[in-house]
Amino acid sequence: MKSVQRILARGQDMVKTVQGVTILINALSADRGGARSLLNMLAEESLTEDFRLLVLTPKQTLETSPGEHMVVVEKLPDHPLKRWLAEWSAIRGMARDPSVRGVLHLGNFISGGGALKHGVYQRNSLLLCREFQVNLLRRGLVKFFSYIQAQRMLALHSVRRADLVITPSEAFRQKVIEAVGEKHSEKIFAVPYGIHHEIFTNPLPLNARARKALEETEGMIRLLHVGYYSYYKNFTTLIRAIPYIVREIGERVRVVMTAEIGQNVVQHIYDSTGDWKLMKELKVEKYFVTTGPLPYRMLPHLYRHADVLVWPSITESFGFPLLEAAFFGLPVAASDIPVHREVRPDGFFFPTYEPQALAKAVLHALSKGRTSETEARKKVPHIREHFKGVIDLIARYLV
């Protein structure tokens, strides 16, 4: 494959110039959340006292200019199996150089073999969530259910095989241990995420659609949801909660969201038509305003102009928007699962599928109001702390 040949040619040339030990960072599947934030931290720093990092990254994921230590891949195959084979072949080829001692995979699965030590950044909670998988079967998505089951098997095999496993929260670490057995626990570590403070204090200007969404909701109570549409995001409970919220605080409330919900609007395999019909049935569609998907560097504007972050997910490995909201002193109303309490112990929690309870949590959050941004930022860890924690584990387990 041409993509593999390009990766190998650039990567092998770079490995030859390295003095000492090299650790590969396979970020070819790091396209969301904390893995993406770590990747952008890696774009800025590559040298440590003991080894050098060489990062394989897709071009579209970077928010900053790539460092000289990065192999930037313009395009990978769209088919998951072909993509995995491309990663596997590229890493196996680069690993032939004797300076390469190990590889950390940011995308949940180990790719490549040989005598290398392997670490895996395990962060996909859907693979360990029975509720989500049962939901797929109820919707008749048998092929996608089978795909998730195959991914689950590969992810758990990767955890068992790895020399090091990193999770973004202690709650998710415990889930991984439950899935693979206590005997693997000594190599599984929780390294909590942080925020890239510089990116969040220097955002890009909003695009026209997002500016219009904020202009239309000026002077209203804004309930914010950040993220793409998916069944595990539990928009159904949020939609059902709107009549209760309106009953308590009146008509001037809007949910500002980056997700798209509409008739025949499909994101990945997630068809939002059912939730669109529910909005119509409850006559609440006017309360939802979308900005459409936004680049990471534009999100700070939404947090700064919101009143409450609403986060009803049925599962998360971390829940990055909870921490992003904390950076701006924004209160949260979140579903009551362990990881949410870990990330935002000051939040207002509700049973995951209870609309009235969600509405009450929103009211409590509104009563609390925002805290000072200056004070809030002091309590939110920088992504650099996460980076340092990861580097320390690499030095201990992969070098």
The residues near 32 (Cβ < 8 Å, ≥ 6 apart) are none
**If we measure between CA atoms, which residue out of 310, 291, 288 comes closest to residue 302?**
291
Confirm if 348 and 333 have CB atoms less than 8 A apart. yes
Region 17-22: what's the mean pLDDT? 63
Tokens of 299: 């999100």
The fold of 198-379 is Rossmann fold (3.40.50)
Distance CA 35, CA 110 (A): 15
Output the six-digit token pair for 7: 């990766």
> What is the C-alpha separation between 148 and 144, in angstroms, rounded?
6
What is the CB-side half-sphere exposure of residue 191 using CA atoms within 13 A? Answer: 25
Q: What is the pLDDT of residues 122-155, one digit of tens each?
A: 999 999 999 999 999 999 999 999 999 999 999 9
Cβ partners under 8 Å of residue 49, min gap 6: none
Question: Cα(123)–Cα(172) distance, rounded to whole angstroms?
Answer: 8
Residue 89 has pLDDT above 80, yes or no: no
Average pLDDT over residues 64-70: 67
Rounded Cα–Cα distance for residues 168 and 374 (Å): 25
Q: Is pLDDT of 105 > 60?
A: yes
The string of pLDDT tens digits covering residues 283-330 is 999 999 999 999 888 999 999 999 999 999 999 999 999 999 999 999
Percent of the chain with pLDDT over 70: 85
Q: The tokens of 367 are what?
A: 């009563």
Tokens of 171: 């709650």
How far apart are alpha carbons 198 and 270 in whole angstroms? 33
- Paired strand residues for 270: 267
CATH class given for the domain over 2-194+382-397: alpha beta
Domain range annotation of the chain: 2-194+382-397, 198-379
pLDDT bin (cut points 50, 70, 90) of residue 46 is low
Region 335-350: what's the mean pLDDT?
Answer: 98
SS3 call for 348? strand
The predicted structure's pLDDT at residue 257: 98
Domains 2-194+382-397 and 198-379 share a fold: yes
In angstroms, the CA 200 to CA 195 distance is 8
